[in-house]
Every structure is written in structure tokens, then in C-alpha cells.
Structure 1
Amino acid sequence: MKALVLAGGSGTRLRPITHTSAKQLVPVANKPVLFYGLEAIAAAGIREIGIVVGDTQAEIEAAVGDGSAFGLQVTYLRQHAPLGLAHAVLIARDYLGDDDFVMYLGDNFIVGGIRDIVGRFVHDRPSAQIMLTQVGDPRQFGVAELDAGGRVVGLEEKPAHPKSDLALVGVYLFTPAVHEAVAELKPSWRGELEITDAIQWLIQEGHGVESTVISGYWKDTGNVTDMLEVNRLVLESLDGRVNGRVDGASELIGRVVVEPGAVVERSRIVGPAIIGAGARILDSYVGPFTSIAADCVISASEIEYSIVLPRSSISGVSRIEASLIGHDVEVTPAPTTPRAHRLVLGDHSKVQISS
């Protein structure tokens, strides 16, 4: 069995961060979200994976390499444009051959991994196995309709009038039967080859399609709110440890990770929180559910419920919360006079300013 990992999306909902970074490499608890998926695939006993990449191919390859760090053998498959999940299956046809495979969206996060569902698929071997979860607004997702016996009878991508609140989680398992389905597809109204249409074709042609409604945690980390929520969840599972230097004038409360080379001086850190390698926390407060990445500097500032990416600095800022701060960013106080805001913002930014 193989895995197909999709890491070619442009990440428009995470701009401006994704103007310069692959969305799958934005860190959760100082580890790229893609790495959690690769670890879940390896834990399920799968060793051969194809990673579908796009414009950020060089960055993905630099981070993952040949996959040996995860116990995997990686092949990179170039997708010239993000033309749908089924299009990714289409371009991977030669790589997948006649193998069964799991398709995993590289920006998804699932607590508990995929070992159980892979085991069930291998045992029962339907043509397709999908994972479902209840969501508040199913119009944003692929939606499944089940009959009274819990069998999948229909699928629809981002419907205006959903027939259920069960959304497809970004993990799919297929036998080679899916290739015939994909070959029959035409682009949807979105101009994409939809994997929901491929599964619908399998249903209509009498193939077995099974579903599992998961009760555990799942997130598509496509926007800042979801990234911060996943970061919170992962930090809650960390055990505290101090491998860096914390001076006697500092206070660590709860589960706090201080990675090697990090320095904490005259500061208070309330966990769960993680301070990355080589970071410096000086005369500051770092509150719960905060990830400070490698080589950052937080000086005379307060921050909580936030993610700060490598090599950024925050100096003299009274309070930051619920924020995602990119690589090599400088955050400083504005001059006290005149009373005006000076902004340098990337495309699609959202700014909240106190009046």
C-alpha cells in the first residue's frame, strides 16, 4: 500500500504568510503541520509515499528530503496547477500503479492518526473508504449523505443546500478502482476535478464505499483561527522540559518547553508553551498556548495564544494575542506622536486597530 500526500495548494486563506512559505510547512508547536501527517502515515505501516507538489516544491523538498527521517521513501510528483484532488490522483497514476493507497491532505491535522482506519480498509477492502465528521457549516466542505443504515448514498462538493452536516475529512483510502472513476470526470463548476465526484461515480457504478464518522479531533489548518486552535491542542499534550537556560529571576508555570540554546531572563512563562532553540525571552510575559520558534527574540513584551515563526522579534509591545507572526518579522511600538498608524502589510492582510 502507498500514500499520496497533497502539498501543492497555494494557501490563499493564510496570506500573507503563504506568499513566502508553503502552507503545509507553517508550524504547529514548532513543527510543520505536514510532518504530523507524515508521522501518521509511517505509524500506519506505510513506507512508500508520493508527495504532490506545486510552486513550493523546492521548499517542500528541502524540508522533507528523501523521507528517511520519517522512515519513508518519498517520490515527488509535480502538479502544474491546483486543479482538484482528483487531478492529483490523475497525475499520480503511473506512480500508484495497481496499488491500494491512502490520500492525505498535507494541511490536515487528525488526532489519533490513521492506523485504525488503514487496518479496517486492508481487512474489508472496499473500493473507497472515507472519513466523516460533523461540522457547523457544511457548505465549506465536501458533504456526505447517508441512508438509514449509515451507508454512503451521495456526495457533493461545497453544496449551497447541504443534505447533512457530515463533512469529508482530508483522508481517503482507495483501491485501483478509483482510477477508472477519475478517468470519467469532467471539471466541476469550480474548474477542478473533484474527488467527491469520483467517489460518487464509484457509488453509482455499484462499488463498495464505506465511511467512518470520527469523534476525535480534525482540522483543516487553512486559516489562522484553525492554525491557532491546532497549536493549542498540540501544546496541551506536551510534557514540560527545560533544555535551555532559565535564570533565577524567571518563572515557569505549568508545562513549558525550553529547547536547547534558548535563554529566558527576568520573564514569566505560563504553559502550555514552547520556546524554540536559540530563542531569547527577556523581561517579558509569554502566556498559554504560545509557540515561539527558533532564534526569535521577545523583549519587554507580552504575548499569548499565538504562533511566532523563526527569527522574528517583538520588542516593547504591551500585549499581543491570537496572532500568527511570520518569519523575520519585527514588531515594535509606534511613536507616541503624532497619533497615527504606520502600516506595511502584505496582500489579503487583516488588521484590527483600537480606536
Structure 2
Amino acid sequence: MKKNSFLFSTKGIVLATFLSLNTAIYAQKTAEAAPITERTLSNILEKNRTYYTQGKVADYIPELGKMDAKAIAFSVVDKNGKIYNSGDVNKKFTMQSISKIIALMVAVTEKGESNVFDKMGYFGSDKPFNHFSNLETTGKPLNPMMNAGAILTTSLISGEGEKPFLKVLDMVRYITKNQGIEYNKSVYESEKATGHRNRGMFYIMKNSGLISGNEDQLDNYFKQCSIELTAEDLAKIGYFFANQCIRFDGDTTYKNAEIAKLVESQMLTAGMYEFSGEYSRMVGLPSKSGVGGGITVSVPGKMGIGVFSPSLDQHGNSLAGYHMILDLAKQYNLSIF
């Protein structure tokens, strides 16, 4: 009798454990399958709106300091290319460092990955985006996401004068299907007038033979950083790289799984600068921020996310933007890990 009681008890525990695991798996699959709605985005946005009070709008570039700290927007392009928006979705802001992933795509498409990365590394960094890092010792930038590497990347795009910049601008227009996108001339002039640190990086690389041209190449970098767009445009960019460089409407003109992998890997390891390691642990998605307050996110094989809030944390990343992405990633189990 005792033996039967033990067997029944053991079977009961096994059955209960099995049912518990199945319930957990079902709950996770349900969360993953649940559609994202504008109400979802709105709820997350409102929950995180006040984070702007804990950060600061970038003012080292005077024109950026004029942004409204309270502005906030949240956009998602789902796996079917459907767009969901919440907040100040018509508010334009400059790409800043987010433009680096577009320039990287253009440069690698033209020159090939090996010809670009024999001049810089694939490394992550524990230093801020504008740090010289090992530039003075090895002569090579750590990666194409820090300013030095990005300046070099843009200089590698072929063409005289502003042709390299126009290639970046045209690619942004193509990916977003938005021909109205332009660069903000006031922000460009402001960046050019105050970009002495970037100018120093440019001349160190020119001195080491990595760059052979003149300051027109640096001007192209300042111009690409000054390209103006919206959170929805960023979501479309995120979608593009998440889906093998296929546009949100299904256009496959630039389809290239390898370039998408390259760009996403750089976004994951260095896209949030010295915060990238912690961000990968908390969010677990390839992302690229800019000091204009935007962040673009790729959910591989699924969706693109775009956020905007110009109040930044100490790393130069949008504070409210980060928390909106974190909440969405948790709610829908989006992390790649």
C-alpha cells in the first residue's frame, strides 16, 4: 500500500511539473504571438515619459541644445511591414550617430568588408563615442560605430566633394521610402564649427595614411549626422537590417544577408557605446543610438523599432527611449538571448 501511495505521489509531482512547464511555455508563446498595437506603444510611452527629467539634452553642439526635452515618440514596423506609432511621431530630429550604420553599409557594398575592416577593428569599447581610444597608438579606430571609425568609414565611400554624403542620404531615403528627407543645414554648420575633436581624429588618421583626402570628407560626416528624420523612419531602418536589407514594403533591391549580419553585429557590440555590454544584457537587441535623441532597433527576422526623446543619459543615449525599448522587449520576449 505504501509503495502504491509513493508511486501515485511521484506521478502527481511529475504531472504537476509537466503541466507547470507547459503552462509557462504556452504563456511565453502567447506573449510572442500577441500582436503589437498602438495602445501597447502608448501605454509604454506614457509609463516612461517622465524619464526626460533625469537626463540632459545634448548642448555641446549648440543647435542640438534647442530641442524640446519633453518631446517623445515611439514607432514599430512589425514583421509584415505594418507601422504603429505613438507620441510626437511627426517631430523631426537629426540622425547623428545612427547615420553610421548607413555609411557602413554603403562603404562595405562598394569596397567589400575586408577592405573596410583592414583599416579598423570589430572591437567593442568601454569608452565614450568621441574617445580617441587606441587611435594614437595603433593608428586604427576600434570600430565603425565610434566617431573615429565612422569618420574613416565615410571617407572610404567613393566620389568627390559631397558625393559620399549624397549616397548616404539617398540610402536613408530609399530605406524609409521617404524622398522628403533632407539634412539640417543649421545643425551641420553648428557641428562643423564646434567639431574640433572630430577634426583632430581626422588628422591623426590622415597622418597615419588611413585617410588621404581633405576636410571635404569630414564635412560629409558632419552632413550625414545632420540628416533629419522621425521615429517612424528609424523603425523602418531597424526593420531593414533585421530582415536581410529588405525594405518594409518588401522591396528586395539591396537584399544582402551578410551586410545585414555585419551591421547588426556592430550595433549589438558597439551601437550604444560604453553602455553596449549592459544594454545587450538588459535588452538583447542590435541597436544604434544618436545624441539627437533617437535609437533604432533591429529584432532579427521580425521587426524594427524607432524611439525618440532628446534627453540623454551619461552615455549619450536617450533615457526615455532606452526604457521604452526595454519594456517592449520584456513584454514581447524580443531579446535574441
Q: TM-score, normalised by structure 1?
A: 0.27
Q: Which structure dedicates a bigger proportion of its chain to helix?
A: 2
Q: Which structure dedicates a bigger proportion of its chain to strand?
A: 1
Q: TM-score, normalised by structure 2?
A: 0.28
Q: Which has the higher contact order (CA 8 A, sep 6+)?
A: 2
